[in-house]
Structure 1
Amino acid sequence: MTRHEFEVAMTCEGCSGAVTKVLSKLGETVKFEIDLPKRLVWIESDKDVDFLMETLKKCGKEVKYNGTK
């Protein structure tokens, strides 16, 4: 699986909770880690980057793809 890094405009626990909610819906095919202070989300998945971006955008926050890490 590839590890992707995204920058998400999260400012509080509610924001990171929204990210957790949308990513959890993807099931066990996706593993993720959230660093709220740095506003980063790492996703391990074989899914397409565009699909992951669109999924993250469902939380209502601005999302930027930083590449693979």
Structure 2
Amino acid sequence: MTQKHGFEVAMTCEGCSGAVTRILNKLGDVTFDIDLANKMVWIESERDVEFLTETLKKCGKEVKYIGTK
């Protein structure tokens, strides 16, 4: 069962959200929504939270796991 995980990512512009989009698109098996105004990324995936957190950190921004929706 897939869960929707929320992450707070220190995104400040379209470039930041673009970097997050590119990183997540490479995974291929996730669906996601980026809320730039609230600095939130919601990821629907069967992968574990630790993997998703480490993947998001590749964009060079601070990442904080918020929980499931």
TM-score by length of 1: 0.97
Q: What letter corresponds to residue 5 of structure 2 in structure 1?
A: H
| Pairwise CA distance, 1:61 | 0.3
Provide structure 1 residue ranges, at least 5 long, that are not aligned to the other structure: none
Q: What is the Cα-based RMSD across aligned positions, in Å?
A: 0.4
| Pairwise CA distance, 1:51 | 0.2
How many residues are matched?
68
Q: Percent identity?
A: 72
Superposed counterparts of 1:1-69, under 5 Å: 1-27=2-28, 29-69=29-69
TM-score by length of 2: 0.97
Q: For residues 33-64 of structure 1, give each alpha carbon's deviation from its aligned partner in whole angstroms, at most 9, with x where no partner exists.
A: 00000000000000010000000000000000
Provide structure 2 residue ranges, at least 5 long, that are not aligned to the other structure: none
List 4+ stretches of structure 1 deviating above 3 A. Answer: none
